[in-house]
Amino acid sequence: MLEYLWIVPLLPLLGSAVNGLFGAKWPNKIVNLAAIGSTGLSFLGALEAVREFFDYFAQNHQAFHKPFFTWIAAGNFRAGFDLQMDQLTVVMVLVVTGVGWLIHIYATGYMAHEGGYYRFFSYLNLFMFFMLILVLAANYVLLFVGWEGVGLSSYLLIGFYFLKKSAADAGKKAFIVNRIGDFGFMLGMFLLFKTFGTLDFVQLFARADPWPAETMGHLGTFTIACLLLFMGACGKSAQLPLYVWLPDAMEGPTPVSALIHAATMVTAGVYVVARSHILFAHSETAMLAVAIIGCATAFFAATIGLVQTDIKKVLAYSTVSQLGYMFLACGVGAFSAGIFHLMTHAFFKALLFLAAGSVIHAMGGEQDMNRMGGLSKKIRWTYLTMLTATLAIAGFPPFAGFFSKDSILLSAFQNEYGGRKVGYTLYAFGLATALLTAFYMFRLIFLAFKGKPRYDEHKVHVHESTKSMLVPLVILAVLSTVGGWLAAPAFLPGGTDYFTRFLQPVFGGVEVGGTEIEAHSLEITLAIVAVITALAGWAFAYWMYIRQRGRADELAKSLKPAYTTLLNKYYVDELYAAVVVRPLLWISTNVLWKTADVAGIDGAVNGIAEGATTIGDGVRHVQSGNTRSYAVWVVVGAIVIIAVILFWPATGKPVLGLVH
């Protein structure tokens, strides 16, 4: 299978093509077969490829790399359809195909009554194809193909209900904001190619490795290239200041939010940073920038998440916040911690979204948490799985999020870039974010599932979802629980931080946090602090939403300016509209459209046409229809020619082409 690695991404593409071309006339069952079958086979293929990779690695101790064909060859530039597999790819491929497959299964239940069923699965499979290309690519160019492809699928799926204007607008917003980041990404690629003469991961990193590292504040090649790549990552992974598209992306169907806007696509930025870790490790400035942006985004998005009432919006801001955590981990050099959080986050955030989808399904399309309440008994399975995911994301042991978040916070605490104080600040904000996370997640649970029903019980018939939706929920709940044990820190009985060791061949050289931590006491202290923080978040939410109902509203009233600011998401959308969108529209309308296009280009074209008409109008009188006047013109012409020949033979030669 490893030799035929291309089959893994090709299967979803086939599924997409088959459903897209013929699905319109097929019943849902056959569409399901093509969609789930292709992704399921792809998952099995990936498993087999991973198994073979372990054998391969045991013998060769290096990443598996295989060129399949040359795609672009120009001068000394070569971009091939080359796939590679190393430990980082293993994690990504299994998460993408595994979680992706579960979400496909879920979607067959969720989308069962929607129009455009085949179209949905065609897009979803197309997304799987591009995402697999992204993670399997062995050079930046092929990675960029996947990168743009997932952006396209994301656009198509956000705008799935394209008759709804808000959905169509959200799709466009996602596409355009991503384009800004992609611009940086491409510039970064150009700079890397110009400097190192290749974009192939293995060669590029081998050539870059011996270069001296750039110190803080030194704007060298590595710093600029990394910051440009990170700009692309900011767009794709919804970091400050390009995060604005992700909350709006919730206009898409919920399985899309789970697969693309929580579990896989938005983590592509983290993947790129981790993949380029050798470059980033050469620049302290870039590392610090990644850490600060990640930390700031984590905190910023978490505060917005506190007051949102739309169940999917809360999860969207939570996703932005958790992605910030991943970048924080990468920025402080703990790449494996970042990738580990990426994995556990894929489990519990996919689960949260799917469970939220199940809630929305049960409520007949209601997304406002103010009109839910008391659902825990009616949709027991959904409640239990969602509670598992909440415990995981809030960082309660022994759920997955505890381990991943803990190792990130530990690495932030030990951060060396930019001095100790920076590390402590990052840690403080990270911890504050953990508190906020626990609070808003339990707020969601309490508002939606506890208390008295706040909807019309006669009108809304709350019902548990079908098996096809519940089974993926349960599997993801199990993964959200046990997934973290892979990286159980060494101070716990039986914990060896297997995950970090597993990724050692990839990140080994640059890992700052490392696996061997001398003092376990620090780790234990920080873990206890983290658990206390999570408990505090839970207790605060419990106090505000269960014990003293109405206290939340009072608090909102007493802190009205802060509350409205948060409710309006810090007015960032308005700010962007005023600073970027409206000036751009003004320039487009007045300068580009009305001046350059209408007056300049159209004016030139129309002017030439009008000139021709005017001249023609004047000259047409020559055509009198009178044969004798024509005769006169013939004679006059002949006389002119003869005169030229006789009197100006020198002019006559070039003008009339006469040869004497």
Q: Pick the closer one to other proteins by CB: 587 or 636.
A: 636
Q: Pick the closer one to other proteins by CB: 586 or 633.
A: 633
Q: Pick the closer one to other proteins by CB: 113 or 628.
A: 628
Task: Give the C-alpha separation, 234 to 211, whole Å.
Answer: 26
Q: Under rule CB under 8 A, how many of the chain's residues touch other proteins?
A: 11
Cβ distance 240 to 300 under 8 Å?
A: yes
Least distance to other proteins from the beta carbon of 621, Å?
8
Q: Pick the closer one to other proteins by CB: 377 or 621.
A: 621
Q: Pick the closer one to other proteins by CB: 216 or 635.
A: 635
Least distance to other proteins from the beta carbon of 613, Å?
14
Q: Pick the closer one to other proteins by CB: 622 or 650.
A: 622
Least distance to other proteins from the beta carbon of 638, Å?
9
Q: Pick the closer one to other proteins by CB: 206 or 643.
A: 643
- Contact between 625 and other proteins per CB under 8 A: yes
Q: What angle do CA 300, 304, 306 make, to 5 degrees?
A: 120
Least distance to other proteins from the beta carbon of 622, Å?
9
- Contact between 59 and other proteins per CB under 8 A: no
- Contact between 626 and other proteins per CB under 8 A: yes
Closest to 192 in 3D by CA, of 224, 218, 217: 224
Q: Pick the closer one to other proteins by CB: 524 or 639.
A: 639
In one-letter notation, the amino acid at residue 599 is A
- Contact between 631 and other proteins per CB under 8 A: yes
- Contact between 558 and other proteins per CB under 8 A: no
Cβ distance 521 to 490 under 8 Å?
A: no
- Pick the binder of other proteins from 459, 623, 654, 657 (CB under 8 A): 623
Structure tokens at 146: 């996947």
In one-letter notation, the amino acid at residue 569 is K
Task: Give the C-alpha separation, 258 to 21, whole Å.
Answer: 26
Least distance to other proteins from the beta carbon of 163, Å?
55
Q: Pick the closer one to other proteins by CB: 76 or 627.
A: 627
Q: What angle do CA 204, 206, 208 make, to 5 degrees?
A: 65
Q: Pick the closer one to other proteins by CB: 612 or 635.
A: 635
Closest to 433 in 3D by CA, of 338, 342, 340, 324: 324
Q: Pick the closer one to other proteins by CB: 593 or 630.
A: 630
For other proteins, which stretch binds (CB under 8 A), given 134-142, 413-421, 486-494, 624-632? 624-632
3 state DSSP class of 72 = strand
Cβ distance 311 to 359 under 8 Å?
A: yes
- Pick the binder of other proteins from 628, 646, 650, 659 (CB under 8 A): 628
- Pick the binder of other proteins from 624, 643, 649, 658 (CB under 8 A): 624
- Pick the binder of other proteins from 206, 555, 604, 635 (CB under 8 A): 635
In one-letter notation, the amino acid at residue 188 is G
Least distance to other proteins from the beta carbon of 617, Å?
11
Task: Give the C-alpha separation, 485 to 402, whole Å.
Answer: 10
- Pick the binder of other proteins from 59, 60, 521, 627 (CB under 8 A): 627
Least distance to other proteins from the beta carbon of 614, Å?
16
Closest to 158 in 3D by CA, of 179, 146, 172: 172
- Contact between 608 and other proteins per CB under 8 A: no
Helix (H) or strand (E) holding 300: helix 284-305
Task: Give the C-alpha separation, 145 to 137, whole Å.
Answer: 9
Strand partners of residue 200 = 139
Q: Pick the closer one to other proteins by CB: 631 or 655.
A: 631
Least distance to other proteins from the beta carbon of 632, Å?
6
Structure tokens at 327: 């970048």
- Contact between 642 and other proteins per CB under 8 A: no
Least distance to other proteins from the beta carbon of 639, Å?
9
Give the distance between the most distant pair of CA atoms in the chain: 116
Query: Which residues in 164-223 contact other proteins (CB under 8 A)?
Result: none
For other proteins, which stretch binds (CB under 8 A), given 106-114, 149-157, 466-474, 615-623? 615-623
- Pick the binder of other proteins from 61, 377, 560, 621 (CB under 8 A): 621
Neighbouring C-beta atoms of residue 14, cutoff 10 Å = 17
For other proteins, which stretch binds (CB under 8 A), given 258-266, 562-570, 571-579, 625-633? 625-633
Q: What angle do CA 410, 413, 419 make, to 5 degrees?
A: 150
Least distance to other proteins from the beta carbon of 606, Å?
24
Q: What angle do CA 169, 173, 174 make, to 5 degrees?
A: 120
Residues near 176 by Cβ (< 8 Å), separated by ≥ 6? none
Q: Pick the closer one to other proteins by CB: 62 or 624.
A: 624
Closest to 339 in 3D by CA, of 130, 135, 179: 135
Task: Give the C-alpha separation, 192 to 223, whole Å.
Answer: 11
For other proteins, which stretch binds (CB under 8 A), given 16-24, 444-452, 515-523, 629-637? 629-637
Q: Pick the closer one to other proteins by CB: 459 or 621.
A: 621
| DSSP annotation string for 439-502 | HHHHHHHHHHHSSS--S-TTT----PPPHHHHHHHHHHHHHHHHGGGGG--TTSTT---HHHHH
- Contact between 620 and other proteins per CB under 8 A: yes
Q: Pick the closer one to other proteins by CB: 590 or 624.
A: 624
Least distance to other proteins from the beta carbon of 624, Å?
6
Number of residues in the chain: 660
Least distance to other proteins from the beta carbon of 595, Å?
39
Least distance to other proteins from the beta carbon of 593, Å?
40
Least distance to other proteins from the beta carbon of 658, Å?
18
- Pick the binder of other proteins from 21, 216, 580, 632 (CB under 8 A): 632
Q: What angle do CA 191, 193, 199 make, to 5 degrees?
A: 125
| DSSP annotation string for 39-68 | HHHHHHHHHHHHHHHHHHHHHH-S-EEEEE
Q: Pick the closer one to other proteins by CB: 558 or 626.
A: 626
Structure tokens at 135: 């993670």
Q: To the nearest 10°, the Cα dihedral for 362, 368, 374, 380?
A: 40
In one-letter notation, the amino acid at residue 468 is S
Cβ distance 126 to 104 under 8 Å?
A: no
- Contact between 494 and other proteins per CB under 8 A: no
> Residue numbers of the site for other proteins (CB under 8 A)?
620-621, 623-628, 631-632, 635
